[in-house]
Structure formats: C-alpha cells, structure tokens
Chain A
Amino acid sequence: MTASDRMHELETLVAAHQRGVWRFLRFIGATPVEADDLTQETFLAVWQKPFEQRDEHATGAYLRTVARHRFLMLLRSRRRRPEVQNIENAEQVFAATAGEDGGDDHIDALRECMQQLQGRARSAVDLFYGDGHSRAETARLLEMDEEGVKTLLRRAKQALRECVERKHGRKPG
C-alpha cells in the first residue's frame, strides 16, 4: 500500500467516525478541547498499527475503546475522576443510545423530531437545550414555575425519544 493509499484510508476513517468518537469522549467527561485532542490521538494511534476495517460498527466500537483508554490515561495524569458512573459500560450505553454509527443518524432523526414539537414544549426545548438556559431561567422566560418546566421537558424528551425510535424502527429502551 502506498503512502497516498494509507493517507486516503485515514481520511476515510476520519470522515466516517470522527464525530462519533468526539461525541463519545464528551459523553465520558472530556472537555471540548480534550475531546479534540483525544480524537486526533485516537485516530493516529489506530492508523499507525495494523488495522482492518471489518465493518462500520466494529470499527466505531474499536475507536471508542481506544478513545476511552486514552481518556482514562488523561484522567489519571490529572487525578480526575470520570463523570460517567460506570466508564467500563460507557461504550454499551453510548452504542445503545446514540447508535452504532456514533450518533449521526440519531442526531438527524432528533432534528426532524424537534421540528414536530409544538407550543411550550418546543419553546422549552429551544431555551433549555438550544440556548443553554438553566431550568430556572427557562421557567422565568416561559412564565412557569420550575417544576412545571421540569415536567414539560421530561414529557418533551419522552416524545422525542419515541419519535426517534420510530424513525429507527427500534423499540424504545
């Protein structure tokens, strides 16, 4: 395999999986900057050793495993604890929730489902998830009490979850 073939192989690998790896790193507690660095390190590490693309799912899972170990090394060096409750199972939780493809399809489906939300539920989602307001701020902007926003968001999330599952043809978990 020539150098240009190898570079093309890496390019394909990165294009397909970089978002999934980055999302996974964020999920297990990496800051955005750390996720950038660790994503880069993960791809280079995998690319530098014999590696065959079995299928997209197995490759994605392998990249996430490498990324998880790299993140754990970083945590150890900084004496931090992971944010996820069980980092060993983080891969399974991620794959089950975001999908084996690293979350791209899930995000697309979510965007479509969010378009279908109406009224206060849509406003609450926009304010809380889109603009990053706290629950208290969202309650104030919607002229609701905080418990009401909490309930509204919970119902909206459930509706979105079911909508995504319908789009993926999966059973809600």
Chain B
Amino acid sequence: MPDKERLEDQLFEEAKGRNAPPDLRSRILGAAQGGLADAPTPPQGTPSARMRRATNSVTRLVNQPEPRPSRPVYKPQRNWAGAVVVAGFCAVFAVALTLFVVYSGDPAHVQIPDAGSSASENPEHATREPGRRNDDHDGQTPVDPTGAKPSPEPKKESAPGPHPEDKPSSQPPTETPEAPPKRKPGDTPPEPEAKPEPAPEPKRDSVERPEPDEPGTEAKANNHAVVATFRAPAVGRKRYEYFTRRNADEKWHEVHGLSGAWGVRKTEDGAYFEVLEGTELKVSGAPLDLANNALLHAEGEFSIRRAGDALTVELHNDRIYLDCLGLPTRVHVSRGELLVEVMGAGTIEAGRDRLDLFCTDGEFKVGADTLTAGQCATLNNRGLSRRRDATKRDWSDTLLRTLPPRVLHGEGFENEPAGKMITGTREARDAASLGADRDGFVAAGNGRDAGVSFQFDGLHTQLAGEVIRVRYRARGAGKLIVQCWNPDASDNFGIDLVPGKSGAWHVLEIRMEDLRDRETMKVGASAGARYTSFGFHTTGAETELEVDWVEFVRAPRYED
C-alpha cells in the first residue's frame, strides 16, 4: 500500500476514535524534571548509551584546558616534515624574489604590504560593519597565517541524535585584532544610475567620453552609470593599486584618498570610490565590486560598460579573475571581437588577439560552446580551442591564491535584519565596548544557552567555497554552536566550537562545507543547499553573547 494511502487510513482511524495519540504531556514534563540523565526513555528500557556518551563529552569539554587563542583555520595539517621542507623552499624563494626586485628595479608586480590598511596598522580598533571586502588580509582568502590545523569536522561520538554535545572543534576562534573594513550590512555596490539610452557597444578607441577634466581631479561625468566600487586607498602608501585614464594616449593617474582621479568619484562617506562607465582602469592585484555584486580581481587594464543588467569588461591587457557564481545577471568579458559570457568564476587573460580562459566554478559560454569548471581553453578569431583540464599549475596561479573574499550577505544589526530576529535583541554599544572605530549595535542574548539567530530575507543558497564569519564576544559559554536551518532537510546544519577567551572579541570563520546536519552529524552541507536562518548559540547555565556582525563570504581555496 502506498505510504500516502496508509497515512490516510491511519488518519481515518484516528478520526473515528481509534489509534489516537495519547496525552504524553505529564510523562514528558515529569521526565524533564527528573533530570538530563534519565529523561529520555530508551527504547530498550535501559539507560541510553547515547545519553551517557553525550554526558561524557560535556565533561571532557569542561575539563579541557584554556583554548589556544588563535583563529580557526581551514587547511588540514598533514605532514609537519613536509611543511618544514615547503617552508624552507618558500624562504629561499622569498629571498630570491627580494633580490630580484632590488636589482631589477621593477617593483610593479611585487606584492608590497598594505601599509595603509587601518586594521593592520591598529589592531586594537576593528572597523565594524560586515559586507565589505577584507582588505587587511591583503588580498588573501581568510586563512590562518599560522598554517595551523583546521577546524576539524565535528566528531559525532554518539549515535544519531540532536544533542550538540559532540566533540567540538579543537580550534578556538581568533581574538581580535580582526575586523576588516567593510561595507554596511546589506550594502551592495551602488546601483548604476539609469541611462536614458544605453550606448551601443563601442570599440575601445571610439568610446564616447565625458568632457575631459584636469588629470588628478574627480570626474564630472555624473551622468555616466556607476559600474563598480572599490575601497579608497589610504593616503601615504608607497604604492597604489588603482589608476585611471581617459584613453590610451594619456598617462595613468593613480587614485588615492586625497585627489581622486578621472572617471571615479568618492562616495559620501569617503570610504569608497565609484567607477563610472567607460573609465579605463589599471589595477595591480586589487579587487573591485561590480555593480551586480560580482567580484573582479585584477592584474590588468580594462574598462567596464553596462547594457541593461549586463556588464561587459573590456579587457585590454593582462588578466582578471571574475566571480559571478550564483548571480542572476551576466557579466561578459571582451577583447576586440572576442566575447565570453561568465556564468561562474575563473581567470581570463588577454593575449595578442586572444583570450586565455580558465573556468574555476560554474561555466563560461562562448557562443554555443561551454567551458565548464576545471577546464582551460583559448579563444581567438577562429573560435574556442580544444578544452583541456586545468593542471595543478593552473590551480596554483597567484591570482587565485590572493583572492579577497566576495561578500554574499552581511548582517551588522545596525537595523533589524531584513528577514527578522528570531532570538536575541539589538542593543547599542559604544565604540570602546565594541573595540571598534565607532559606536554601533550588536545582537545580544543572555541566560541559559544564550543565542542569537535571524532569518534571511528569503532563502540563502550555499555557494562553493562559502565561509561564515562572525564577530562575537561570549561569557560563561561551555561551547559555541553555529547552525543554519535547512528547510529541505528539516534540520539544522551546524558545528560545535570551543569558545575563545571569555569576554574578548573574536572573529570566527567557518567553512560552510564543514557544517553537518545536527541530527546525525553525518551529512555535510554542500553547495546548492538552501537555508532560511542563521543561529549562533552558546551552551551553559548562565551565558552572555554579543554578536557584532555576521557575514557570508565566498572564499574558495583553489590551491588545494
């Protein structure tokens, strides 16, 4: 008999007074009052082995020594001897590179530490607000600089059950200094201004430009659409990453906080520059947020045009990494007559009359041809070449290893979350209390198993390489639980962690693929899974929790 029919029969019987559920309220409440150990009635009538194991697990947690105050990490620690050898090679390489730079006198392609990065200069003060790229990582994905062990997957010591008393991650979260300068929660790159009529796809040298200004001044071409934003570089740096010019006949003018440059304009708060359509940009190893929320990380020269919702990056020289994964709008990359539609992520390098393509995620479309994740090919005027699988060398490309995280969703609690708060309350805090550069709001909870949780505005779909970042402070917590509700599985997907130093601000970074279903801890969270809410909880009889911000970023690890 089909399941549905059998269920209907069961319901008919109940409606006729047979097979009705008994009232178990007094029994369950009595068991609850009897205490944790003997509360559940085990199926066999003996004390549940699962409950005993869970209790032991908690005991071990309590007795655990003070956690090491370091950031949770991602890279698995595999072989120390190998790591020493690799470190040796890296040191030799670094020395060789330094000598090369000193004697060649061409520092153009050398990564110089970001001396102007406020977070790295002053670690005591973390800029608040999630949603902005982590510039103090200097273009790195959020990886523990110690190279230490990653947060291990939650070990389930017990049989399937919803108890969170599993072995927690041995890696406590990082203490501040941590917080990157970021955009306000929910703040997306500014929507481009509407143009009355989108200009036809122009050729590079026949672009209709705004009236020329003196180089080194901000653009007056306000009627041009904003196609991208980037963080205003701090003044006084040895080297700037962003340069603009009107056309190929002009010199490049660096963009920095004092003067601005042609084709870009500062936002009202002065923290960001907006790039106007058609501006020629030269970027050396730095990111831009495109107007459709895609990430462009460039080591090259290009300009950006807009037609309707679609953006086109005209690549003139060198190369870019583009990440549009999960976005509904398209981004094209062109060089002359060559055109690629990026429906995922990957690198594109301009050669002489060709584009070298490497698709890392999703797919690239060239006419009717498709390049899928892990494939490389060359596009020239004869079409797309034969595809080849990416090699280890392709995956270890410097551009891929220095990617900044792409912010997918940020919640800073300056306003009520767009979904809604489920648990916890928004409370104001001054800058000193926040350990930040200005006053703000936190989501706070206290009492037994204090927690903070909120619903997303709609469904949040997990992308490959997605990371949850949380800035928090907890007191009295035995452990921390990060979890997201998956309505398709009717279960939370989460992980247990050891809290850092009590009362100190920490930034927690968890790869979403490390989350497991809370019931069995056997099913991992995979790309494509959908979530309706995020929860961050403590365990303990009397706990306090403050969450400064939560952000979901995409930070893929391609080098693995």
Q: Indicate whether B39 reaches chain A with its CB closer than 8 angstroms.
A: yes
On chain A, the residues within 8 Å of B36 by CB distance are 48
Q: Indicate whether B16 reaches chain A with its CB closer than 8 angstroms.
A: yes
Q: Indicate whether B535 reaches chain A with its CB closer than 8 angstroms.
A: yes
Known A54-B422, A54-B455, A66-B519; judge A39-B24 contact (CB<8 A).
yes
Q: Is the CB of B3 within 8 A of A45?
A: no
On chain A, the residues within 8 Å of B39 by CB distance are 44, 48
Nearest Cβ distance between residue B455 and chain A, in whole angstroms? 7
Q: Which of B359-376 contact A (CB under 8 A)?
A: none
Q: Is the CB of A111 within 8 A of B490?
A: no
On chain B, the residues within 8 Å of A114 by CB distance are 15-16
Q: Indicate whether B56 reaches chain A with its CB closer than 8 angstroms.
A: no
Q: Is the CB of B451 within 8 A of A27?
A: no
Q: Is the CB of B163 within 8 A of A40?
A: no
Q: Is the CB of A126 within 8 A of B16?
A: yes
Nearest Cβ distance between residue B11 and chain A, in whole angstroms? 6
Nearest Cβ distance between residue B33 and chain A, in whole angstroms? 7
- Number of chain B residues close to chain A: CB under 8 A: 68
Query: Complex Cα distance A15/B24, Å?
Result: 9
Q: How large is the interface on A (under 10, 10 to 19, 20 to 34, 35 or more residues)?
A: 35 or more
Query: Complex Cα distance A61/B29, Å?
Result: 21
- Neighbour of A27 across the interface among B6, B40, B518, B538, CB < 8 A: B6
Residues of B within 8 A of A (CB): 2-4, 6-19, 21-25, 27-29, 31-33, 36, 39-44, 48, 50, 159-165, 422-423, 447-449, 451, 453, 455, 481, 485, 487, 489-492, 518-520, 532-533, 535, 537-539
Q: Is the CB of A107 within 8 A of B451?
A: no
- Neighbour of B21 across the interface among A1, A19, A129, CB < 8 A: A19
Q: Which of A117-157 contact B (CB under 8 A)?
A: 125-126, 129-130, 132, 157
Query: Complex Cα distance A126/B537, Å?
Result: 51
On chain A, the residues within 8 Å of B3 by CB distance are 27, 84-86, 89-90, 93
Query: Complex Cα distance A34/B43, Å?
Result: 7
Q: Is the CB of A65 within 8 A of B489?
A: yes
Nearest Cβ distance between residue B327 and chain A, in whole angstroms? 28
Query: Complex Cα distance A48/B54, Å?
Result: 11
Query: Complex Cα distance A132/B16, Å?
Result: 10
- Give the interface SS of chain A, mostly helix, strand, loop or mixed: helix
Q: Indicate whether A6 reaches chain B with its CB closer than 8 angstroms.
A: yes
On chain A, the residues within 8 Å of B451 by CB distance are 50, 52
Q: Is the CB of B519 within 8 A of A18?
A: no
- Neighbour of A18 across the interface among B6, B21, B42, B455, CB < 8 A: B21
Nearest Cβ distance between residue A32 and chain B, in whole angstroms? 8
- Neighbour of B16 across the interface among A19, A46, A97, A129, CB < 8 A: A129
Q: Is the CB of A44 within 8 A of B520?
A: no
Query: Complex Cα distance A127/B519, Å?
Result: 41
On chain A, the residues within 8 Å of B6 by CB distance are 27, 83-84
Query: Complex Cα distance A7/B32, Å?
Result: 8
Q: Indicate whether A56 reaches chain B with its CB closer than 8 angstroms.
A: no
On chain A, the residues within 8 Å of B481 by CB distance are 49-50
Instruction: From A10, A70, A84, name the one whose CB has the most chain B CB atoms within 10 angstroms.
Output: A70
On chain A, the residues within 8 Å of B518 by CB distance are 49
On chain A, the residues within 8 Å of B519 by CB distance are 65-66, 69
Q: Is the CB of A23 within 8 A of B10?
A: yes
Q: Indicate whether A36 reaches chain B with its CB closer than 8 angstroms.
A: yes
- Neighbour of B490 across the interface among A1, A19, A61, CB < 8 A: A61
Q: Is the CB of A130 within 8 A of B16?
A: yes
Q: Is the CB of B33 within 8 A of A65?
A: no
Query: Complex Cα distance A161/B50, Å?
Result: 42
On chain A, the residues within 8 Å of B449 by CB distance are 1, 49-50
On chain B, the residues within 8 Å of A54 by CB distance are 422, 455, 485, 532-533
Q: Is the CB of A93 within 8 A of B41?
A: no
Can you report 21 A-B residue pairs in the complex whose CB atoms are below 8 A from each other? A11-B25, A14-B24, A22-B22, A23-B10, A34-B43, A35-B21, A38-B43, A41-B42, A44-B40, A50-B481, A52-B423, A58-B487, A69-B520, A77-B44, A84-B3, A86-B3, A89-B3, A103-B11, A107-B15, A114-B15, A160-B12
